[in-house]
Structure 1
Amino acid sequence: MAIGYLAVQLEEIYFAMITLSFTMALYAVANQDIIGTVQAVLGIGNDTFTNGSDGLTFTLGQVDLFGFTFTLVDIADPMAYYFVTLVVFTVAMYLLYRIVNSPFGTVCKAIRENPERASALGIDTTRHSWVTFVLSAAFSGLAGGMLIPLFTRVTPDYAYWSFSAEPVLMTVIGGPYSFFGPLVGAFSYRYIRWFISRFEMLEAYWQFSFGVLLLLVVLFVANGIIGAPEQLREWLDSRGE
């Protein structure tokens, strides 16, 4: 929340750079286990906090209560965890849909389209941007938390900028101005990654290959996959004139 309050004071590229800086600072702290080192020097707590580059291992799915062990979800069963993820995903999408289509969401859209005009109308653009930042972080944290039962390990790599950039790429591919755009982009991104991995030559340079594809999307389909049909229709109409 504190980071969000500082970040929303800036705009555009400056906002992106400060959030990226905080992300890489967090990665450095986790990767070097700085907190654990400080604890060891001060003689408090354990001598490790994040366990450095090895990360932390978790055992989830069971709860000990009053001497009894209850199994909540058999995470070893892929199908069981699939349905758990599906339920969480459905609830999250419903909440997001309600937020986007609420009066608060309408105000946020106005700020996105024209922050100066929104501010002139008396809207507190900084406060709304901050709340949006916090909500985004909450849902991102929920998505990240769903990885823990799947992999049972959390490493500093999850805080690296390239991992954090994946949702942005998914949004650009799917369509940043559509509610379901990021969802379509997520499926498309994973499929493209899988498709590239089938070709040995492309797999060795998958980041370059994906970068070229992303460049083409930005240049020719600025509204993403969701907005492509509308953009094509407008182009055909302009050609007809």
Structure 2
Amino acid sequence: MKKTILTLFAVCIMASCTSVENADSLQKKYSIDKGSAKQWDQTIIKVVEGEALIPEWYGNENPIIYLRKTGKMSEKDFNFLMSLEKMKPEEITEDDYEKFMDLVVTYNKKLPRKFYLADNNLKNPKGLVDFMVRETFIKMDTPSSHIKNVVATPEEWEEIVVFSKQTDLSEKDTKRLRKLLNKFIKRNEFYDERAWYNRELSDRTIQLTNIDNKKDITSLEQNNVNAKALYIAYPDYFSTLDKWDN
């Protein structure tokens, strides 16, 4: 009984960590009114971009295009939203406005993704392990040296070294490499701003640092920071992050 209660408590904590703001809080946060409903596309874009942890949650593209392409915005809902454009704000009924706000909340509930690597997300596994090992010989902090010295165990890093010495990686080797990388991105110490800044100092690395430095970072936030950090470190060897499994 005690174990069941603890499990339910853990589930509640997880749910609270990944909760999406309700209609009232979104209205207040983004000053949404009936005029905003008429300009529904601008409003949804603003809210989706504001509420997403990272742009990959909406495909790193126009949020409306992403929502329609993925079926998260149905044709019926799209036609309803288009009808709002033709109305004056004062013509939009309370029912119409409530339905609009329900859609705004729904779209944001559908956004959160927890990225992880599948085998098909590795474009060139042999090239990746070769690059990782080579980069550790550079006399400065790099993502590869950080992974070797801080993230991986000596045994895990030795597996990567062994892979780099092979002519090619078999399907079984690729699966093992993918499992290793997924283990790495689950670890709190994976992202190190100094090592990544030496590779790339940009808005996206600064964004990762800001999320990573939050006081109470959730498991979802930590996973997304690390997954994006892995992609940024080795972009030539992976499919784009929005194509990863979740």
Q: TM-score, normalised by structure 1?
A: 0.24
Instruction: State the structure with bigger RCO (CA 8 A, min sep 6), 1 or 2.
Output: 2
Q: TM-score, normalised by structure 2?
A: 0.24
The structure with more strand, counted as a fraction of residues: 1
The structure with more helix, counted as a fraction of residues: 1
